[in-house]
Structure 1
Amino acid sequence: MTPAARIATAAELLDEVLEGAAAEKVLTSWARRSRFAGSKDRAAVRDHVFDALRCLRSFAALGGAMTGRGLMIGMARSTETDPETIFTGEGHGAAALSDAERAAGQPPVSDAEAGDMPEWLWPHLTRALADEAAAVAEVLRHRAPVYIRVNTSLISADALARELAAEGILTTPGPLVATALEVTEGARRLASTIAFGEGRFEMQDAASQAICAAIPVQDGHSVLDYCAGGGGKTLALGARATLHLTAHDVAPERMRDLPVRARRAGIDVHLAERGELAGLAPFDVVLCDVPCSGSGAWRRAPEGKWRLTEDRLEQLLGIQAQILDEAASLVAAGGLLAYATCSLFEAENGDQIAAFLARNPGWQVETTRRLTPLDGGDGFFLACLRRI
């Protein structure tokens, strides 16, 4: 495929996404029916689609239309590339620009449009981040770094870096935590490496690793990951100490790969159904990495900021409060309740903790930590609450 053909394809796929289809599903379907497209073609088309989703409003403004074609015109203009050189109508490329398309388009007007955020979300961002809001929004318009977590119970970071380099994958020490390596070359080959197959590393954002490192655990602790999902934080905690680990999720199918990953990493994890938890309690530490807006990770999942609505955010706040109250009942006297989100919004973070303390006497805040994409990883919030 020529560069122009890749852009024409991305424009067509973006039209499907704008109509409500999931980007991953659209890209997978296209790849399956387009055997002519090589791996570099698929990667390029994917990058165009996700770059446009990260910069949806500003590209649409520059391109003059909230369409796949408008977004691709806007993408060209954002890099000061003349779209006439891409939209030529030659071969399998996109049709030449019309007079209306040449005349259309303008720079973003509002702060939210320039920051590629929905207007209704901008006050949430500025309330939480104040003067840093624009800078964080700018970072979220770009691709996220690729980080891996070194399983230091099996190998050192330096040794893993050398092993991966021998397979053509280059890394550099990551920010925030000693277990993080940033992958600077060869990221798409990570899952096929010997080191991954033998559990010496997992894919995990640096900020997510830092949050896990900030949760106090020690040998012999009984630890429950209450909203385990795929189990990344479960494994990160298990790599730090010899724990009695339990993982639970309201949707158990999310944990289907966790037993294999745990065995690979040399970690014992019990997967618990909801009805088991009361019998297994009390736990020394309960982690609640709750469902949230995902605003801190919108570089990785940019559809999230366009799919989120005010009603959905209110629903998430209710779910978070319910999870906190339920999980608190499983914590031992003197034990720890760790509340985490990958959200930037105060409503999901500090406000949620304040409301919990008002509802539940007998708890105190031990530590809190807030990370934004300006720190190098995703945006995260952690509050560690001690049962008095």
Structure 2
Amino acid sequence: MTPAARLSAAIEVIGTILAERRPAADVLKDWGRAHRFAGSGDRAALSSLVYDALRRRASAAFLMGETLGEETPRALILGMLRLGRGMEADAIAALCDGSRFAPAPLTEAERARLTDATLDDAPAHVRGDYPEWLDAPLEAVFGEARDAEGAALADRAPLDLRVNSLKGGIDKAQQQLEHLSVTPGAWSPLTLRIALEADGKAPPLTVEPAYLKGLVEIQDEGSQIAAILAAPPRGGQVLDICAGGGGKTLELAALMDNAGQLYAYDDDLRRLAPIHERIQRAGIHNVQVRSPKGRGPARADVLADLESRMDLVLVDAPCTGTGTWRRNPDAKWRMRPGALAERVKEQAEILDDAARFVKPGGRLAYVTCSLLDEENVAQIRAFTARHPAFRVIPPAETVLALGERGLALAEAALMRPEGILLTPRRTGTDGFFVAIMVRDA
């Protein structure tokens, strides 16, 4: 496919996404099945165009003089090329020349918008490319910087790897992956970052020997930091109560040097399914996976024997995922206020359940990939009010788990009395909130 044909395909795909309100990944998959002639390079380029347009949906529409919610797919693509890829009007016009498979030529109005329009007078939610109803919650966290924080979330995410210390050190991993231009992370001593290609295409990491042999795992640096700050004790008893596919479970096991006992649980068997193969590949021996049994009121409490025994309980809570918009840009436009309320209720229930497993003197780590106070500081305040035996460990102490890097992180991150907030703009990571509490009695 020519670059112009890819542009036409992107306009078509975005039209389907807007009309049918379906996830972009599903629409792109259907497009690929219906266009078998498109090679892997074409599909990757198309995905990049579509996701870049969704990242900048509000600002692209505004630039082209259209209203969000009534915008056209063509306007989103044209506006994205100007804002997201820095293309001038003439370069865009060269792609939109009306030839076979190319988009129609630019109108005079479109050329004028691409040449002269700016975001100077746009409201914060447009400059930050997030839904208008989230403006107040984001202002409560970031104030006047909310548009800049949102804009950073509209950029592409890097590809971060975590070095599995059970299989080797960061120098070994960096040597084996040197051909992928890896660089060490800024905060986590376990991170290697891969520079993506200009079109955002990631290398086929899962066929690399370093990955196949368990030396590295794909994991955002922010997620890695969260597990390090939880500080699992070597030889201790640890419960990962929302283990999902096992990303943080694997890191906790490595931080514990395969000693002690780590229990991994998730109430959804489908989310938990990948963990078994990942544990084996990582060379982990101290993890016991506890799977849910039964349904509804008859579901067995498979964690009952762990009550009041855990040195650390990690709650990687289900959340709105506002901190991961770089990786899933269409999710922010499909998010509704009701989803936030549902997540807040679910998080409170999980925290209350997790508290029963923490022994006196033990710690409870609460982690979300959300930027919103409702899911973060407000949850911690409400939890400690319901459970006065728990108190928050000051974030200035929590960061010391990273050593000298922790002191630098404290300067970069948003430090709240209840926890630490990482953001793409401040720390170059996905958005993560981390709070550590201790049970005094």
For residues 64 and 299 of structure 1, the distance between their equivalents in structure 2, rounded to whole angstroms, comes to: 25
1:338 paired with 2:365, answer: yes
Give, as a single letter, the amino acid of the residue that structure 2 aligns with 1:112: H
What does the per-residue CA deviation read over 1:60-108, in whole Å, with 9 as the maximum and x for residues that have no partner?
A: 1223442221111212332242232222211211122345655668544
| TM-aligned CA deviation for residue 31 of structure 1 | 1.8
Instruction: Give the 4+ runs in structure 1 shifted more than 4 A.
Output: 98-106
2:247 to 203, 228, 232: 232
1:158 paired with 2:166, answer: no
For residues 7 and 123 of structure 2, the distance between their equivalents in structure 1, rounded to whole angstroms, comes to: 27
For residues 318 and 271 of structure 1, the distance between their equivalents in structure 2, rounded to whole angstroms, comes to: 26
Q: Is the 8 A contact 2:158 2:196 kept in 1?
A: no
Q: Structure 1: which 5+ runs fail to align?
A: none
1:283 to 286, 298, 310: 310
Q: Structure 2: which 5+ runs fail to align?
A: 293-300, 395-418
* Deviates most, 129-138 or 369-378: 129-138
Q: Give the RMSD, CA atoms, in angstroms.
A: 1.7
What SS does structure 2 have at the residue aligned with 1:325? helix
What does the per-residue CA deviation read over 1:91-141, in whole Å, with 9 as the maximum and x for residues that have no partner?
A: 211122345655668544211111101111112112112343232112111
What SS does structure 2 have at the residue aligned with 1:188? coil
1:200 paired with 2:215, answer: yes
Aligned to 1:214: 229
1:363 to 387, 390, 404: 390
After TM superposition, the score normalised by the length of structure 2 is 0.84
Give, as a single letter, the amino acid of the residue that structure 2 aligns with 1:81: E
Aligned to 1:32: 33
For residues 49 and 372 of structure 1, the distance between their equivalents in structure 2, rounded to whole angstroms, comes to: 24
What SS does structure 1 have at the residue aligned with 2:204? helix
For residues 285 and 297 of structure 1, the distance between their equivalents in structure 2, rounded to whole angstroms, comes to: 26
Give, as a single letter, the amino acid of the residue that structure 1 aligns with 2:74: R
Aligned to 2:189: 178
For residues 32 and 196 of structure 1, the distance between their equivalents in structure 2, rounded to whole angstroms, comes to: 29
Aligned to 2:335: 308
Task: Please list, as runs of the form range in 1=range in 2, the aligned pairs for 1:125-144 lying within 5 A after superposition.
Answer: 125-144=138-157
Q: Give the count of matched residue pairs.
A: 386
1:76 paired with 2:84, answer: no
For residues 80 and 45 of structure 1, the distance between their equivalents in structure 2, rounded to whole angstroms, comes to: 17
Q: Is the 8 A contact 2:313 2:364 kept in 1?
A: yes
| TM-aligned CA deviation for residue 205 of structure 1 | 0.3
2:288 to 257, 260, 270: 270
For residues 139 and 322 of structure 1, the distance between their equivalents in structure 2, rounded to whole angstroms, comes to: 32
Q: Is the 8 A contact 1:63 1:75 kept in 2?
A: no
For residues 148 and 381 of structure 1, the distance between their equivalents in structure 2, rounded to whole angstroms, comes to: 20
For residues 379 and 151 of structure 1, the distance between their equivalents in structure 2, rounded to whole angstroms, comes to: 23
For residues 196 and 149 of structure 2, the distance between their equivalents in structure 1, rounded to whole angstroms, comes to: 25
